[in-house]
Amino acid sequence: ARGWDVIPSHTNFLFARPPAGDGGNLYAHLKQKGILVRHFNKPGLADRIRISIGTHEENTELLAALP
């Protein structure tokens, strides 16, 4: 619904590309808000972030912090 490209996962994390396609900027934005995700500054991966599944409250906080 938010325009993300999410790779199907059977794990406790999502590997996703935000609509703007800039994982590095989104990583910095979320880190500034105290929300930690993983960013890989490597060719073919830099446009995505890895989001670990947290508690309901943590997931709600993440969604509220997304631009």
pLDDT band at 67 (very low <50, low <70, confident <90, very high): confident
The continuous run of DSSP H or E covering 27 comes out as: helix 23-32
The continuous run of DSSP H or E covering 60 comes out as: helix 56-65
| pLDDT of 15 | 95
Cα 34 from chain centroid (whole Å): 13
Residues 2-60 have pLDDT tens digits of 899 999 999 999 999 999 889 999 999 999 999 999 999 999 999 999 999 999 999 99
pLDDT band at 1 (very low <50, low <70, confident <90, very high): confident
Residues constituting the chain: 67
